[in-house]
Chains A and B, each alone.
Chain A
Amino acid sequence: NAGVTQTPKFQVLKTGQSMTLQCAQDMNHNSMYWYRQDPGMGLRLIYYSASEGTTDKGEVPNGYNVSRLNKREFSLRLESAAPSQTSVYFCASSETFGNQPQHFGDGTRLSIL
């Protein structure tokens, strides 16, 4: 079992470019999440998908869009990247939404110049 797989692992963008971060899980989980983690900071929820076919905003959704492509895949898109979006992005999944442990991917380190 690979668990939660994120691609790419690293990316450098120029301001204004667009980018889609991919996430896939093979645990048959219903819920998926996208977080950002700035240096020395905690995890801030960007968007989540409680179940296939649904998506909702988290704490910091501005500048991002998501797509729950199917039960396995949940992508995060930056339409017009800004330097303030330089961060490490983590995808996570859980069996159901809320009171279940979340399993994290290895993260995508994104730098925007």
Chain B
Amino acid sequence: GENVEQHPSTLSVQEGDSAVIKCTYSDSASNYFPWYKQELGKRPQLIIDIRSNVGEKKDQRIAVTLNKTAKHFSLHITETQPEDSAVYFCAASNFNKFYFGSGTKLNVKP
């Protein structure tokens, strides 16, 4: 089955710096890669996603890149702000499976 590994488990950055979270997957059939943000005590919410026919996608300060050959994808957050502090989960899926990574706790220091 699929195995999604997410690194790092914790990440601390200074406000204004960039943050990068990486995920690797094992199933070459995976073709959809969403990222979720979960604030403390709240529900996970989709922040950006990418499909396998695209190499990069941007939405304001966040971007996701996908390397299908190497089977890894990354979340990039630029100009981080204290409100970006949360746990971020990656996921990989195809038509009949959906797997989450173990999460990255991002702390943005003011």
Contacts and interface: CB of A to CB of B under 8 A. Distances in A.
Interface of A: 33, 41-43, 45, 50, 90, 97-107
B49 A98 contact: no
Contact of A99 (B32, B43, B102, B103): B32
Nearest to A105: B43
Interface in B20-46: 31-32, 34, 42-46
Contacts of B42: 106
Contacts of B96: 50, 97-98
13 contacts: A41-B103, A45-B98, A90-B44, A97-B96, A98-B32, A98-B93, A98-B95, A98-B96, A99-B51, A99-B93, A99-B95, A102-B34, A102-B46
B33 to A, nearest CB: 9
A80 B45 CA distance: 31
Contacts, number: 47
Interface residues of B, number: 21
B89 A42 contact: yes
Contact of B97 (A98, A102, A104): A98
A92 to B, nearest CB: 8
Contact of A106 (B32, B43, B89, B103): B43
Contacts of A33: 98
Contacts of B34: 101-102
A102 B99 CA distance: 12
